[in-house]
Chain A
Amino acid sequence: MKRIFLICLTFAFGLGILEILGRNGAWNTELFPLPSEILSFLGRTLTDGHAHAGKATGEKNPSPILYAVESVTDSTLLAAITVTLKRLAFGYFIGFALGIPLGLITARFRFMRETLGLVALGMQGLPSVCWVPLALIWFGASESAILFVVVMGTLWSLMLATEHGVRTVPPLYSRAARTMGSKGLHLWTRVLIPASLPSVISGMKQGWAFAWRSLMAAEIYVTILSGYGLGWLLHNGRETLDMAQVIGVMLVIVAIGLLADRIIFAPAENWLRARWGLDKA
């Protein structure tokens, strides 16, 4: 508790210094807004106001197109977060549901490893933004295009991590299991898959990082008219030269990354460490 307080205090102190320097003209606050402006943007939009309703003074949005767009959608920051997280969860789930079985298949069958496994290895090295042009041609500027990019970002690393996990299971485990009468499906579900969990979990973490990056890329490049995500909001902040919005949205993106690590992956890794011991996790 005391530590948390100290950490908060340190951040507050840093922000305070930035605020004072900024107010005294240390830099152009049009380009890098004051902490208070960013905080007020976040406070305003996280509750219910519109993201690009102009600055605190309330001046109207200069672009008529964007203005029209705004009128047909609910573009609060909260709504954008929901849209983005939904896409992320859905895309990640598809990548997961495909990646794990494919990883098991490539681990089990040498022929699949030498073909599909090679494809996965190559695709993993491809930055996920590179899928955007293809996605736009195949699916148009649609929800599917975004999902496709996220899935392509997640799938390969999960698949490779699963394959690696299964293939590095100490042979002793399966020998011991076989002497106790385990074989076939039982051997896979009770020994090989659990034994590869450490690798699968680190693959899931990496897959999540890739999914998150590719989703942001997709949201920035694929402008669609149904549902606005954080990436679009970021893009929009630039178009309207609303720097408080740009930086505020970036902070939200950072916070989501941190929270995902704290809420999903840190507990999983702690559980693993408690079970497996320090050396393996």
Chain B
Amino acid sequence: MPANVERELQNVPPSQLALTNVTKLFTSQHGEPVLALDNISLTVKEAEFVCLVGPSGCGKSTILNLVAGLEQQTEGRVLLDGEEITGPGRDRMVMFQEAALFPWLNVLDNVLFGLKLKPGLTNAEREQVALFYLQLVGLEKFVHANVHELSGGMRQRVALARSLAPNPRILLMDEPFSALDTMTRESLYRDLQRIFTQRSKTILFVTHNIREAVCLGDRVVLLSPHPGRIREIFEVKLPRPRDINSPELAELSSEITAALKQYLKKDA
């Protein structure tokens, strides 16, 4: 492998993220203000896996979009490695609920999309990098397949390879597995944990599945809606790789579920 490719494939230092007193106000279609995030403060350490959980409308996606640079907060500060976020950047890659792959490109070209925007590599080198990540997610046999020929799980694997390819320092994942069946999801949990340890990334992961959050996260941040607020943060000390069906994991997730129900009852 050429030295340039090898250098590109090396792990980059993971990011550190700090949100302080972040408020986000939307205007609804009827012109009324919607407080999506109310005074959110959260720090995510280098190479930490943090899961945001909570019922629909609690502002999980909004937090992710602020970090991604797709939205701007109304108040407060969002700092990535000490610097204010002003827009999207290659150091932060996003994976969405639906694969958001481009149907006019094949698998390889989808993975190459972000890489081609990265300077300092030749196209042949970029292709080697893309192939490395497709191999990492186990899709080396489907390099030239069209997107619609893949199953939902395979599409999310391509999307994962695509977001890993530019070698970001933080990965932002918005319910990436929620549309998949249980079996497919479980194999993706295994692979994501493997990749997380192997590639050493900071990951901010949104889900409304508490078990999934406990399975993947070092910490689980519980939010509640109207307005979106952080209610409690749980540490998950279980050793990796974790099995989503293990009893310890089930125990912690039912604890978190009970806490969430309490908060929702109090708000009602």
A interface, CB within 8 angstroms of B:
172-173, 175-182, 186, 190-191, 194-195, 197, 274-280
Partner of A186, one of B102, B117, B118, B166: B117
B interface, CB within 8 angstroms of A:
68-70, 88-90, 92-94, 96, 98, 100, 102-105, 113-114, 117-118, 146-149, 162, 166
- Expressed in whole angstroms, the Cα–Cα distance for A180 and B98 within the complex equals 16
- Interfacial chain B residues near A280, Cβ < 8 Å: 103
Instruction: Give the interface centre of B100, B103, B114, B162 by most chain A CB atoms within 10 Å.
Output: B103
- Expressed in whole angstroms, the Cα–Cα distance for A278 and B102 within the complex equals 15
Q: What are 7 A-B pairs with beta-carbon distances under 8 A?
A: A172-B100, A176-B96, A178-B88, A179-B68, A181-B166, A194-B102, A197-B104
- Interfacial chain A residues near B149, Cβ < 8 Å: 277
* Structural contact, B117 and A191, CB atoms closer than 8 A: no
Extra inter-chain contacts (6) besides given A175-B100, A276-B148, A279-B148, CB under 8 Å: A176-B94, A176-B102, A182-B117, A275-B146, A276-B103, A280-B103
Instruction: Give the interface centre of A277, A278, A279, A280 by most chain B CB atoms within 10 Å.
Output: A277
* Structural contact, A277 and B148, CB atoms closer than 8 A: yes
- Interfacial chain B residues near A178, Cβ < 8 Å: 70, 88
- Interfacial chain B residues near A182, Cβ < 8 Å: 113, 117
Partner of A173, one of B90, B100, B146, B148: B100
The SS class assigned to the A binding surface is helix
Q: A172-B96, A275-B104 are in contact. Are A181 and B114 (CB under 8 A)?
A: yes
* Structural contact, B102 and A191, CB atoms closer than 8 A: yes
- Expressed in whole angstroms, the Cα–Cα distance for A176 and B117 within the complex equals 13
* Structural contact, A179 and B148, CB atoms closer than 8 A: no
* Structural contact, B146 and A277, CB atoms closer than 8 A: yes
* Structural contact, B102 and A195, CB atoms closer than 8 A: yes
* Structural contact, A276 and B113, CB atoms closer than 8 A: no
- Interfacial chain A residues near B88, Cβ < 8 Å: 178-181
- Expressed in whole angstroms, the Cα–Cα distance for A197 and B102 within the complex equals 12
* Structural contact, B117 and A277, CB atoms closer than 8 A: no
Nearest-CB residue, chain A, relative to B117: A181
- Expressed in whole angstroms, the Cα–Cα distance for A274 and B104 within the complex equals 10
- Interfacial chain B residues near A194, Cβ < 8 Å: 102, 104-105
- Interfacial chain B residues near A172, Cβ < 8 Å: 96, 98, 100
- Interfacial chain B residues near A180, Cβ < 8 Å: 88, 90, 93, 113-114, 117, 162, 166
Distance of A160 from chain B, by nearest CB (Å): 21
Distance of B64 from chain A, by nearest CB (Å): 10
Instruction: Give the interface centre of A172, A178, A179, A186 by most chain B CB atoms within 10 Å.
Output: A179
The 5 closest A-B CB pairs, nearest first, are A277-B148, A180-B114, A176-B100, A181-B117, A194-B104
* Structural contact, A275 and B103, CB atoms closer than 8 A: yes
Partner of B70, one of A179, A190, A195, A197: A179
- Expressed in whole angstroms, the Cα–Cα distance for A190 and B104 within the complex equals 10
Partner of B89, one of A181, A197, A278, A279: A181
Nearest-CB residue, chain A, relative to B68: A179
- Expressed in whole angstroms, the Cα–Cα distance for A28 and B68 within the complex equals 78
Partner of B93, one of A173, A179, A197, A275: A179
- Expressed in whole angstroms, the Cα–Cα distance for A266 and B183 within the complex equals 40
- Expressed in whole angstroms, the Cα–Cα distance for A197 and B147 within the complex equals 16
Nearest-CB residue, chain A, relative to B146: A275
- Interfacial chain A residues near B90, Cβ < 8 Å: 180-181
* Structural contact, B70 and A175, CB atoms closer than 8 A: yes
- Expressed in whole angstroms, the Cα–Cα distance for A275 and B147 within the complex equals 8
- Expressed in whole angstroms, the Cα–Cα distance for A87 and B24 within the complex equals 59
- Expressed in whole angstroms, the Cα–Cα distance for A56 and B44 within the complex equals 91
